[in-house]
Amino acid sequence: MSGIPDLPEKFDDLPDKRRFWPSPAGSADEGLGMLRLLTPELVANAARTQIQTGERVCLNWDIENLTPPGFGRKPFEHRIKWVAEGVAFDDEYHFNPQQGSQWDGLRHHNAPAPTAENADRRVFYGGTTAEEIQDESCSRIGIGFWAKQGIAGRGVLIDYLSYAQKKGISVNALSRQMISLDEVLEIARESNIEFQRGDVFFLRVGLPDTWAAMSADARKAYSEQAMPQHAGIEQSERVLRFMWDNHFAAVASDAVSFEVFPALSPEHDLHHHLLAGWGVPIGEMFDLDELAATCKRLNRWSFFISSSPLNCKRGVSSPPNCMAIF
């Protein structure tokens, strides 16, 4: 079972390559998007085959690590206060999930969907409008749908950073450095990775190393750019075909944008196709360093993953609260 009725098997079978919206508007199935691939049978099989040693690695970067944040986002705030003087403390948090490890939910990014009447029309997954998202009584495609079941299944890691270091390729995760599909496939072959339907695809680009090497002034300058640059996977029809034909339930990386930003090929923008078009969650700024070290030590590049997004029915994005289990 695919978990999604009438799921076209191949990219070429898609009647509309830019969007696949099979579920009724406002339904839980629509809210799950491609996470519907994670059926109980698939998750149970992933647990049986992937959990072998019981070793666990959390994939959450420090919640305030990208300080100061870009795009004019409000910086992280944390206060500790007495709730009962001399007896007990409470926390007070203010944070934007986009400042650290996060899942981009289906409400995060829209895509062009022009009509004869409105050439500038843009909509979110399922045809959801910005007005619906801003309506406090509407939870359509909110991240709360993901929170009901969580995200669990088989994860696979493409460790580009180690590949680049081995090849003598320098990596700057805050540049428009492109990771080609050919490199991804070469790493998969070297790592004996065979992709399976419903996999969560992880790509290690190397943002933590780039960020750690930057001075406070350089970080501030980055945060103030109107159009910062980010390394990531290429945008192309080949990548879209690869993503669809493998039927990934979600994708994630340790980079800021997963794909090259600004897009080198706007026609194939992955946020447009994956999030707004197909309902595939995009994870960004995950901490993949310890995951890569564990994969290398165990000489296996697949694992069981468990993620519990925030239970906020109208949520746009969420910390992943994610771990890999070997």
Q: Say what the alpha-carbon torsion angle 114, 284, 133, 313 is, to the nearest 10 degrees.
A: 140
Question: How far from 155 is each of 162, 198, 199, CA to CA, in Å?
Answer: 18, 9, 6
Nearest residue to 195 via CA among 162, 161, 158, 232: 158
Asked if pLDDT for residue 67 goes beyond 90, the answer is no
Rounded mean pLDDT, 61-84: 86
Quote the CA–CA distance of 11 and 244 in Å, as a whole number.
6
CB count within 10 Å of CB 122 equals 15
Q: The whole model's pTM is what?
A: 0.95
pLDDT (tens digit per residue) in 242-278: 999 999 999 999 999 999 999 999 999 999 999 999 9
3-state DSSP helix/strand/coil % of the chain, to nearest 5: 30, 20, 50
Question: How far from 36 is each of 41, 80, 200, 213, CA to CA, in Å?
Answer: 12, 39, 13, 40
Query: Strands 282-284 and 250-253: what pairing?
Result: parallel
Domain ranges of the chain: 11-70+94-325
User: For residues 190 and 66, which has the higher predicted lDDT (pLDDT)?
Assistant: 190
pLDDT (tens digit per residue) in 39-66: 999 999 999 999 999 999 999 998 877 7
Query: Of the CATH numbers 2.60.40.420, 3.10.20.30, 2.60.120.10, 3.50.30.50, which one belongs to the domain with range 11-70+94-325?
Result: 3.50.30.50
Asked if pLDDT for residue 1 goes beyond 70, the answer is no
> Mind giving me the DSSP string for 258-286?
SB-BS-SSGGG-HIIIIIIII---EEES-
Rounded mean pLDDT, 81-106: 92
Asked if pLDDT for residue 34 goes beyond 50, the answer is yes
Looking at the DSSP bridge assignments, the partners of residue 304 are 154, 325
Quote the CA–CA distance of 164 and 146 in Å, as a whole number.
34
Rounded mean pLDDT, 150-170: 98
**Residue 6: its pLDDT value, please?**
85
**Residue 302: its pLDDT value, please?**
98
**Residue 73: its pLDDT value, please?**
83
User: What percentage of the chain has pLDDT greater than the value 90?
Assistant: 89
Phi, psi of 142 (to 5 degrees): -70, 160
pLDDT (tens digit per residue) in 274-322: 999 999 999 999 999 999 999 999 999 999 999 999 999 999 999 999 9
Query: Strands 200-204 and 151-159: what pairing?
Result: parallel
Quote the CA–CA distance of 205 and 285 in Å, as a whole number.
10
Asked if pLDDT for residue 234 goes beyond 60, the answer is yes
CB count within 10 Å of CB 121 equals 13
**Residue 273: its pLDDT value, please?**
98
Check if the beta carbon of residue 80 is closer than 8 Å to that of residue 88: no
